């Protein structure tokens, strides 16, 4: 099956096909400690209030607000985690710390800065000078002030980060239903490939796609199944592909999808599944191929990425990353888009839209000194030149066309890393 039988698909169309085939993985119950970065599959409502008791906001004295300023005997103390075994009668106060339950009888707190210890006349009972008048409820968080019983705390689809995990813990939830991390099998294919650390023979090169893709998948929260390197034989490829399909939700292969005699991946996928597309109208990454294969009653997604190191990583970000997020339950699986300003002129490609690698950074002088995002090209964009991905945190979406985009032109960038 020659590559040319596949029509050249626009990237947007290809991504729509991929996302159409990708369904969120079935939810699993997970302890909070393993839930960071996962997507919540159930809404969570509070079943206990926070605070569960009226709590002091300050270190100071629990008072009866109606008493007003004056000199009062301190009849006890209550610190966070303890409860008072006394009642604050009118005309008395009690020492209290932040987070401690308000003792019965008291209805407000006066912070310590507004008070003074006074010498007691008989030497055994301590007196406190309350210097200010406060309203009932002053510096007290009532029951449910932070989180009320029944309050919707997290919706279905929430991404569990630091604050969300804290919210779950604060309402006493120890396990949640989340979409699991997709398992992604990664295979490099090619007779010329050697693992770093081993000597290179004649005609050989080091395998860079596998370490690259492993890191990219792990950074996106995927669990990697490393399939190693397979040579250019139908047997070796079939064995590795079948292992990937058995053990993972997504299979990424690189190499062997071009027009050469030993480009065996497309025919293999065509035999065992459905090839949805085999060519993209884009630069770099034209031979990128996508297939689905049924295994174990589930539909597995296969991305046969081009061998050129830049092409494989760019096509992974454009198609594989959104698919991974969709399986992981993300409601919006797309890479973040921002508008950026070009720091230098860029020549357009006459035949294909280009994903130009760039480093996007905050530039305070842009937009009349209000600041904005500036994109520096990573230089020569040859698809074999992995240096063009170094420090790249964005793919600039350059339209197909004639001529040059001048410095200062605004273009859309897909973010693939943090903006420094
Ligand atoms: P292919 O798609 O197999 O024709 O490979 C295209 C180019 O990418 C060739 O120059 C390969 O040697 C190179 N290539 C393929 N796989 C890898 C890899 N895993 N690491 C580095 N270069 C590769
Ligand atoms: Mg090859």
pLDDT tens, 183-233? Answer: 999 999 999 999 999 999 999 999 999 999 999 999 999 999 999 999 999
Helix 265-272 × helix 234-247 angle, to 10°: 50
Q: Which of 75, 94, 126, 134 is nearest to 110 (CA)?
A: 134
Mark the residues whose beta carbon lies below 5 A from ion ligand 2.
190, 255-256, 307
SS3 label, residue 6:
coil
Query: In this predicted structure, what is the pLDDT of residue 341?
Result: 98
Q: Using an 8 Å Cβ cutoff, are 406 and 360 in contact?
A: no
Taking 3-state DSSP, the helix, strand and coil percentages for the chain, each rounded to the nearest 5, stand at 20, 30, 45
With pLDDT > 70 as the criterion, what percentage of the chain qualifies? 98
Mutate to test the pocket of ligand 1, among 264, 307, 309, 314 (most ligand atoms within 8 A of CB): 307
Single pTM value for the model: 0.94
**Predicted confidence (pLDDT) per residue in 139-194, tens digit:** 999 999 999 999 999 999 999 999 999 999 999 999 999 999 999 999 999 999 99
Pocket of ligand 1 (CB under 6 A): 188, 190, 192-193, 205, 207-210, 254-258, 260, 306-309
Ligand closest to CA 254: 1
Query: In this predicted structure, what is the pLDDT of residue 125?
Result: 76
Q: Using an 8 Å Cβ cutoff, are 195 and 205 in contact?
A: no
Spacing, Cα 231 to ligand 2 middle (Å): 9
**Predicted confidence (pLDDT) per residue in 61-94, tens digit:** 999 999 999 999 999 999 999 999 999 999 999 9
Atom 6 of ligand 1 has which residue's CA nearest to it? 307
Atom 10 of ligand 1 has which residue's CA nearest to it? 308
Closest atom of ligand 1 to CA, residue 257: 2
SS3 label, residue 209:
helix
Token output for 409:
């032109």
Which is it for strands 410-415 and 394-398: parallel, antiparallel or unpaired?
antiparallel
Q: Which of 197, 203, 198, 265 is nearest to 237 (CA)?
A: 265
Q: What secondary structure does DSSP assign to 39-57, as a single string?
A: EESS-EE-SS-BSSS-EES
Spacing, Cα 196 to ligand 2 middle (Å): 18
Summary mean pLDDT of the chain: 96
Query: In this predicted structure, what is the pLDDT of residue 287?
Result: 96
Dihedral, CA of residue 406, residue 408, residue 413 and residue 419, to nearest 10: 140
SS3 label, residue 12:
helix
Q: In the block, which residue shows the tokens 């005699």?
A: 261
- Residue length of the chain: 420
Query: In this predicted structure, what is the pLDDT of residue 262?
Result: 85
Spacing, Cα 336 to ligand 1 middle (Å): 29
**Of residues 261 and 58, more confidently modeled:** 58
pLDDT at 120 over 90: no
pLDDT at 242 over 80: yes
Closest atom of ligand 1 to CA, residue 210: 19
Dihedral, CA of residue 386, residue 388, residue 392 and residue 397, to nearest 10: -120
Kindly tell me the burial class for residue 376, based on how many C-beta atoms sit within 10 Å of its own C-beta (0-12, 13-18, 19 or more). Answer: middle
pLDDT at 2 over 60: no
Mutate to test the pocket of ligand 1, among 308, 312, 386 (most ligand atoms within 8 A of CB): 308
pLDDT at 3 over 90: no
Q: Which whole number is the average pLDDT over 326-336?
A: 98
pLDDT at 1 over 70: no
């Amino acid at each position: 099956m020659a590559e040319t039988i596949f029509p050249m698909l626009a990237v947007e169309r290809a991504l729509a096909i991929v996302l159409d085939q990708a369904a969120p993985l079935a939810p699993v119950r997970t302890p909070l400690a393993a839930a960071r970065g996962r997507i919540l599959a159930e809404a969570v409502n509070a079943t206990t209030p926070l605070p569960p008791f009226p709590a002091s906001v300050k270190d100071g004295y629990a008072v009866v607000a109606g008493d007003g300023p004056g000199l009062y005997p301190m009849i006890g103390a209550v610190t966070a985690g303890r409860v008072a075994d006394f009642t604050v009668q009118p005309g008395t106060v009690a020492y209290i710390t932040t987070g401690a339950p308000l003792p019965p009888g008291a209805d407000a707190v006066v912070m310590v800065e507004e008070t003074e210890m006074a010498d007691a006349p008989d030497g055994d009972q301590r007196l406190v000078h309350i210097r200010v008048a406060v309203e009932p409820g002053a510096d007290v968080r009532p029951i449910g002030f932070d989180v009320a019983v029944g309050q919707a705390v997290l919706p279905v689809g929430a991404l569990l980060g630091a604050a969300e995990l804290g919210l779950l813990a604060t309402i006493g939830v120890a396990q949640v239903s989340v979409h699991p991390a997709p398992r992604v099998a990664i295979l490099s294919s090619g007779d010329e490939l050697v693992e770093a650390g081993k000597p290179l023979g004649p005609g050989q090169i080091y395998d860079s796609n596998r370490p690259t893709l492993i890191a990219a998948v792990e950074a996106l929260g995927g669990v990697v199944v490393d399939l190693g390197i397979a040579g250019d034989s139908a047997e070796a490829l079939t064995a590795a592909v079948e292992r990937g399909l058995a053990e993972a939700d997504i299979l990424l292969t690189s190499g062997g999808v071009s027009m050469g005699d030993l480009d065996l991946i497309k025919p293999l996928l065509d035999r065992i599944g459905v090839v949805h597309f085999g060519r993209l109208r884009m630069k770099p990454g034209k031979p990128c191929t996508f297939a689905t294969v049924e295994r174990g009653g589930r539909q597995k997604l296969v991305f046969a990425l081009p061998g050129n190191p830049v092409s494989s990583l760019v096509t992974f970000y454009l198609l594989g990353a959104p698919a991974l997020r969709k399986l992981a339950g993300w409601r919006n699986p797309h890479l973040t888009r921002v508008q950026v300003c070009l720091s230098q002129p860029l020549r357009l490609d006459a035949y294909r839209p280009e994903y130009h690698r760039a480093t996007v950074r905050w530039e305070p002088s842009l937009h009349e000194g209000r600041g904005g995002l500036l994109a520096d090209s990573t230089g020569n964009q040859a698809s074999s030149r992995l240096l063009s991905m170094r420090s790249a945190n964005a793919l600039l979406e350059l339209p197909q066309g004639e001529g040059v985009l001048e410095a200062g032109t605004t273009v859309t960038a897909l973010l693939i890393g943090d903006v420094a």
